[in-house]
């Protein structure tokens, strides 16, 4: 199993789960530094390429999409994580998380946020 390092994020209510994947030395860029610095435009540009083959990058790109009102694209990316092999992700606190669990949690939070927004209308 492949391991990536994750950091806690607060991009939106959807992203209260640790899911910012740090570059793990596997030849792809997960834009960890840019996201931690709040430079989401630059992070998105970097992630668009690496998300094609890197699950951690895909999770990060999904968070950027969701935080910028592109929930549909975020959901597509998170569902694609679920179709790949489940990989181990290491949190900043040292916890090992399943890529499938992270994607499922984020999808669930997106659904909750959507339900809350509908209720407010």
pTM: 0.74
| Per-residue model confidence as pLDDT tens for the chain (121 residues) | 444 434 333 333 333 344 455 434 444 567 878 888 889 999 999 999 899 888 888 998 999 999 999 999 999 999 999 999 999 876 657 788 899 999 999 999 888 766 555 566 5
Taking the C-alpha atoms of residue 90 and residue 77, their distance in angstroms, rounded to an integer, is: 20
């Amino acid at each position: 199993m492949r391991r990536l390092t994750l950091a806690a994020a607060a991009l939106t209510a959807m992203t209260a789960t640790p899911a910012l994947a740090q570059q793990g030395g596997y030849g792809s860029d997960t834009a960890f530094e840019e996201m931690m610095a709040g430079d989401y435009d630059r992070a998105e540009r970097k992630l668009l390429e690496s998300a094609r083959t890197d699950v951690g990058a895909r999770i990060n790109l999904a968070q950027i999409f969701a935080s910028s009102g592109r929930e549909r694209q975020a959901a597509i990316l998170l569902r694609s994580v679920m179709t790949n092999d489940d990989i181990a992700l290491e949190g900043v606190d040292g916890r090992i998380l399943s890529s499938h669990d992270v994607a499922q949690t984020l999808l669930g939070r997106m659904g909750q946020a959507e339900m809350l927004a509908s209720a407010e209308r």
